[in-house]
Each structure stands twice: as structure tokens, then as C-alpha cells.
């Protein structure tokens, strides 16, 4: 019977019932929509993430039914669990919006605004936050910290200038592999992602650090500067892989597969981590069984060139099953408008 107990919580006036131990962020995700706080460091698929970037700050205007006092300060929604009767304010609180604007300003102190040449453009959560909450000018008068680009593997390049120290890549390497060889070195303003002396990131799942990075700090060297994501056509596919699930997204330019990534959910989190063989070595349509065109959020710039008047790659045109799936997706996209 204890498993059936639900806790009632209200977020921006919208009630929801969740299981005990649920965080405010995940309670908001059960509601969905604009009231879901942004998250740059939290990753539901990885243990121990959250509490570092502070972009998910919310205001608890009522602690619980037993103790209705508000919490004195804004709290990180990814780390704060709900209590019965709790009332939370996110986008309806001017205090939260102003605090989020300050957090974005801090994240952009050292992060260069090089979106025109960054491979993450179009998929970058910091880019979205900067658009929603960023200021036109910076108050920061000191010289930005800069680093040389380095290769931390034969197919991964690190742009430390862009890193916001979310720790996601460290967690994914720590939890997917037996021998993690990179992490955070130094402290404070000198902290940076780096490998141990004379070590390189080299294991079957190392490519996943690219997928979990919320900015363009870790990039795929096989895809660098080849194309913009909004000029490519993503298609879900799978293969019988002995190492991972084999469920991926293929990014097409015409009939050429430019890159392979893991499939992601609506919050940009990887559904199932994939191996390096699937990611880097299988870039031909013949290597895969095609499922359907990837569903793109209607507000994403990636979808701007896709599904209205969509011109699918030849592999879809030649496959009646995929063509039918594409037509169904076109209809879903129209309904979302």
C-alpha cells in the first residue's frame, strides 16, 4: 500500500501528484510544457548529477501542509524533493526569472559567443538560455580565460573555452566505463576538464561524452565543420550490436550519413547510450535498419528545414514504410502548431 502513496504539489498553480522522493524538477517534467525549469547539469540517466549550474532555481512559496512557511531562498529544483502540499513558483515568479538571468550571465562570463562556428549551434541549451534570459551586454571587465583546443581521443576534441563545468562528461565516463581517465583538475577559476598525464579517452563508450555535453565543449571530430544540424535530416535507425542497444539517430545530408548519435528524449537526454562502433564506424545506410524520421520539437531550429515541405533523403523516398511514417510525422507536426 505504501507504494501507492502520492504527494500533491503545485507548480505555477498547476497541481500534480507524484511519488515520495520525487524532485521538483521531475515533478514539473510530469506536467510538461513551459513550466519545466531548464537544466544544464542535471541528467536523469546518470546518478549524482545536478546542483552545479543553478539554472533550475525555483521559489518554494509554501513548504508543505504541515509547515506552510516559504523557503527563505531560491532552491535548485533538481536537488530539492517535494513535500505534500508544497507550492512552487517558476516562470510566474519575477524573482526566479531575474535570478535565472543572473545565472546565465555568470555562465557566459567565460563562454565565448562563437555560435556561428560552433558545431553545437542548433542543439545548444546554453544558446536557448542566452536567447531567453541573456543580456545584450556583459558587465564583466576582466580578460576571459582561454585554453588551447586539445584532442582527448582520436575522435573527440575538447574546447575548454566553451565548458561550463557541468560534470556530465565525467559522470558518464565514470558510470559507463571501468577506467575513467579524465575529470576536473585545479580549482576555482582555474578548474578545467582534462585527462591524466599522457592519457587519452579511449574506451568503447567514450563517444557518449559528446552527446551529454550541453554546450560545444566536446565535439565529434568526424563531424566538425561538415554541416549545420538544421540542414541535415535525422532518421531513427537500429542494428544488431553486441555491445550496445544499437538504437541511434542517423543525420543525413542527401544520401550521406554525416554523423550518428544516440536517440534523445524531449529534454535532450540520451535514452540509451551507444558504443563507439555504432557512432563512428557505421556511417552507411546499409549498416542500419531504418525505422522512421526523428520527431523534432516544433520550436527547435533543427525542424525549421525539415517537416513543413519536407524533402526527405532518398533512403526514405525509396522505402514505402519510411515514407508512410514520414507522412504521419508531417501530420503530427501540423497538429502541434
pLDDT of residue 90: 94
Q: Work out whether the CA dihedral 111, 112, 118, 121 comes out positive or negative.
A: positive
Domain count, the chain: 3
pLDDT at 329: 58
Residue entry with cell 533543427 = 302
Q: Are residues 234 and 311 in the same domain?
A: yes
Q: Specify whether 248 is located in the same domain as 327.
A: yes
The pLDDT assigned to 277 comes to 94
Same domain, 192 and 234: no
Q: Domain range holding 158?
A: 111-137+147-220
Q: How many CB atoms lie within 10 A of CB 185?
A: 12
Q: Which CATH number goes with the domain that contains 191? A: 3.30.70.20
Question: Do 89 and 119 belong together in one domain?
Answer: no
Rounded CA gap, 61 and 120, in Å?
Answer: 37
Contact 46, 27 (CB under 8 A): no
Q: Are residues 84 and 117 in the same domain?
A: no
Report yes or no on 252 lying in a domain.
Answer: yes
The reported pLDDT for the residue numbered 308 is 44
Domain shared by 237 and 204, yes or no = no
- 116 lies in some domain: yes
Residue corresponding to grid cell 500500500: 1
Are residues 41 and 168 in contact, defined by beta-carbon separation less than 8 angstroms?
A: yes
What does the pLDDT look like over 155-166, one tens digit per residue?
899 999 999 999
- 247 in Cβ contact with 142 (< 8 Å): no
> How far is CA 142 from each of CA 110, 145, 172, 203, 272, rounded to the nearest angstrom?
10, 9, 33, 39, 42
Assigned C-alpha cell, 28: 514539473
Domain boundary among 183, 202, 220: 220
Strand partners, 87: 10, 62
Contact call for residues 314 and 255 (beta carbons, < 8 A): yes
Say yes or no: 178 and 246 in one domain.
no
Task: Specify the pTM.
Answer: 0.79
Are 200 and 131 contained in the same domain? Answer: yes
Establish if 142 belongs to a structural domain: no
Residues 209 and 274 placed together within one structural domain of the fold? no
Predicted confidence pLDDT, tens digits, the chain (337 residues):
455 788 999 999 999 999 999 999 999 999 988 899 999 999 999 998 998 999 999 999 999 999 999 999 999 999 999 999 999 999 999 999 999 999 999 988 888 888 888 989 888 989 888 888 877 777 888 888 888 888 888 889 999 999 999 999 999 988 988 778 888 888 887 888 888 756 778 888 989 999 999 999 999 999 998 888 888 889 999 999 999 999 999 999 888 999 999 999 988 899 999 999 999 999 999 999 999 888 887 777 777 655 444 455 555 556 665 566 556 656 655 554 4
Alpha-carbon gap, residue 29 to 22, rounded angstroms: 11
- With respect to residue 240, please indicate whether it lies within any of the assigned structural domains: yes
90 in the same domain as 56? yes
Q: Are 37 and 57 in contact (CB under 8 A)?
A: yes
Of 201, 220, 239, the residue that ends a domain is 220
Q: Tell me what pLDDT residue 214 has.
A: 92
Residues 12 and 99 in one domain: yes
Torsion sign, CA atoms 271, 273, 274, 276: positive
State which of 177, 192, 220 marks the end of a domain: 220
User: What is the grid cell recorded at 243?
Assistant: 555491445
For the domain that residue 8 is a member of, what is the CATH number? Answer: 3.10.20.740
The verdict on 214 and 234 lying in the same domain is no
Per-residue model confidence (pLDDT) at position 1: 41
Distance of alpha carbon 163 from its chain centroid, rounded? 14
Question: 313: burial class by Cβ within 10 Å (0-12, 13-18, 19+)?
Answer: buried
Query: What three-state secondary structure class fits 9?
Result: strand
Cβ-based neighbours of 55, under 8 Å, separated by 6 or more: 37, 38, 39, 40, 100, 103, 104, 107, 129
In a domain, residue 259? The reply is yes
* Per-residue pLDDT at 183: 84
Amino acid at each position: 500500500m505504501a507504494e501507492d502513496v502520492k504527494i500533491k504539489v503545485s507548480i505555477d498553480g498547476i497541481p500534480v501528484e507524484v511519488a515520495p522522493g520525487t524532485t521538483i524538477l521531475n515533478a514539473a517534467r510530469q506536467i510538461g510544457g513551459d513550466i519545466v525549469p531548464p537544466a544544464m547539469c542535471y541528467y536523469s540517466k546518470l546518478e549524482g548529477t545536478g546542483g552545479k549550474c543553478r539554472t533550475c532555481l525555483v521559489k518554494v512559496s509554501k513548504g508543505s501542509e504541515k509547515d506552510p512557511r516559504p523557503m527563505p531562498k531560491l532552491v535548485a529544483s533538481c536537488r530539492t524533493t517535494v513535500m505534500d502540499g508544497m507550492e512552487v513558483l517558476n516562470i510566474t515568479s519575477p524573482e526566479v526569472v531575474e535570478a535565472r538571468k543572473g545565472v546565465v550571465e555568470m555562465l557566459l562570463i567565460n563562454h565565448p559567443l562563437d555560435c556561428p562556428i560552433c558545431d553545437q549551434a542548433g542543439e545548444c541549451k546554453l544558446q536557448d538560455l542566452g536567447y531567453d534570459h541573456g543580456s545584450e551586454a556583459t558587465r564583466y571587465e576582466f580578460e576571459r580565460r582561454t585554453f588551447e583546443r586539445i584532442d582527448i581521443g582520436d575522435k573527440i576534441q575538447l574546447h575548454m573555452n566553451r565548458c561550463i563545468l557541468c560534470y556530465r562528461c565525467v559522470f558518464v565516463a565514470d558510470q559507463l566505463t571501468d577506467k575513467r581517465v579524465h575529470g576536473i583538475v585545479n580549482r576555482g577559476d582555474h578548474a578545467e576538464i582534462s585527462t591524466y598525464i599522457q592519457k587519452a579517452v579511449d574506451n568503447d563508450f567514450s563517444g557518449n561524452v559528446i552527446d551529454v555535453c550541453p554546450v560545444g565543449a566536446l565535439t565529434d571530430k568526424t563531424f566538425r565543420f561538415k554541416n549545420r544540424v538544421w540542414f541535415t535530416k535525422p532518421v531513427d535507425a537500429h542494428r544488431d550490436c553486441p555491445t550496445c542497444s544499437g538504437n541511434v539517430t542517423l543525420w543525413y545530408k542527401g544520401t550521406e550519413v554525416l554523423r550518428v548519435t544516440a536517440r534523445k528524449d524531449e529534454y535532450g537526454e540520451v535514452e540509451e547510450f551507444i558504443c563507439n562502433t555504432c557512432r563512428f564506424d557505421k556511417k552507411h545506410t546499409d549498416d542500419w535498419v531504418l525505422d522512421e524520421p526523428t520527431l523534432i520539437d516544433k520550436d527547435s531550429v533543427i525542424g525549421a528545414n525539415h517537416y513543413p515541405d519536407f524533402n526527405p533523403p532518398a533512403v526514405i523516398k525509396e522505402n514505402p514504410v519510411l515514407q508512410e511514417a514520414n507522412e504521419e510525422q508531417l501530420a503530427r507536426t501540423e497538429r502541434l502548431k
